[in-house]
Structure 1
Amino acid sequence: MKLRDFLIGAATGLAAAIIIKEASEKISPFVPANRVLDNVKDQFKKESPIDGSWIYMKTDDYHNGIMTIPVYRGGITRMNNGEMETFDFAADARSGVVVELVKS
């Protein structure tokens, strides 16, 4: 195999990878789950320090009585006045906005 053929193949592969990456970002417009969790944690940290947090990386359907939207589900644990508080949340996967917050 000639060096020229190898370089053409490598360039073609790189171009295809870039095109596929750009197309997949347009097809799946979801906010990354870790960014959603970081935003929720930042809001909780304004009130008091948090002890733990988690989020499911796969989306789940959330039905609010009118429509169904894809959400990430997660939770936050913190100490408040000497008591452990646990909150479960559902955040819109497209915008990152919390649509449900429940104290467990």
Structure 2
Amino acid sequence: MKITDVLIGVAVGFATGYAVKEACAQKDVSPEKALKQVKSNVQHRIPVNGSWIHMNPEHYEKNYVDYDVYRGGISSNESGQTRQMDFVVDAKTGAILELGKQ
């Protein structure tokens, strides 16, 4: 066996391992995507006029489970009054953990 064959095998193995690691690594949901998911989930019940989200995830604990989350808010205009609601979204999955009045 030639040294070049060994080096090619090592290089291919390394590249394949790196590609699999990157494909399997769970990436965080972007804050923009998380905000879009929140708005689309509540749009059928609440007419959303405005929204905001913190761009940096923060640590959050709920029911003894630790999460990295984005915090944000939405506003709507119902019966001539502006209504504010805050939300907490899991940064890994985009799932809404909390949604409530301010």
TM beyond 0.5: yes
Alignment partner of 2:41 out of 21, 40, 43 = 43
Tell me how far apart the structure 1 counterparts of residues 79 and 42 of structure 2 sit (CA, whole Å). Answer: 15
For residue 60 of structure 1, what is the aligned residue in structure 2?
58
Q: Which amino acid aligns with 1:39?
A: Q
User: What is the Cα deviation at residue 42 of structure 1?
Assistant: 1.2
So what's the TM-score if we normalise by structure 1?
0.70
Gaps of 5+ in 1: 1-18
Question: Structure 2-normalised TM-score?
Answer: 0.71
Aligned length: 84
Distance in 2 between residues matched to 1:48 and 1:27, nearest whole Å: 35
- Residues 48 and 100 of structure 1, relative CA distance in 2, 3 Å threshold: closer
Once the two structures are superposed, the pairs formed by residues 79-90 of structure 1 within 5 Å of their partners are 79-90=77-88
Q: Distance in 2 between matches of 1:42 and 1:33?
A: 14
Within the candidate set 92, 95, 103, 2:93 is matched to: 95
1:43 Cα deviation from its structure 2 partner: 2.0
CA deviations over 1:8-34 (Å, ceiling 9, x no partner)? xxxxxxxxxxx8xx94x7656101111
Percent identity, aligned pairs only, is: 31
Partner of 2:70: 72
Root mean square deviation of aligned Cα:
2.1
Contiguous gaps of at least 5 residues in structure 2: 1-17
Residues 24-79 of structure 1 show CA distances to partners (whole Å, capped at 9, x for unaligned) of x7656101111110011112221242111001111011111412110011100001
Q: Which runs of 4+ in 1 moved over 4 A?
A: 25-28
The structure having more radius of gyration, on CA atoms, is 2
